[in-house]
Amino acid sequence: MEFEYTRKRGQKRAYRVYVRLTGGPSLGFEYRAWVYHDEDFKGQLTSFPLTATDAEAAIVEARERVERDIEDLVGINE
């Protein structure tokens, strides 16, 4: 999954995010995310297990976590 997210606090930069979802309903889902601003790599976000039990819900949950981490600059080098 790939998406763009713009911070609402601080420097309101737009970030390009690449997310890889792994696992499945029986094993549980996890994600890894790589964040870029323009062409600059800003960080790889920590992969945590998700609570979602299906792929669609896992995508939504991962995106929410990534957006929160960007807002709080968790794992993002600015």
Residues 5-50 have pLDDT tens digits of 999 998 899 999 999 999 998 889 999 999 999 999 999 997 789 9
Determine how many CB atoms are found less than 10 A away from the CB of residue 21: 19
Mean pLDDT of 50-56: 94
Compute the distance between CA of residue 29 and CA of residue 76 in angstroms, rounded to an integer. 23
Confidence of residue 2 (pLDDT cuts 50, 70, 90): very high
- Give the pLDDT of residue 60: 96
Residues in the chain: 78
In the chain, where the domains are located = 2-72
- Give the pLDDT of residue 78: 82
- pTM score, whole prediction: 0.90
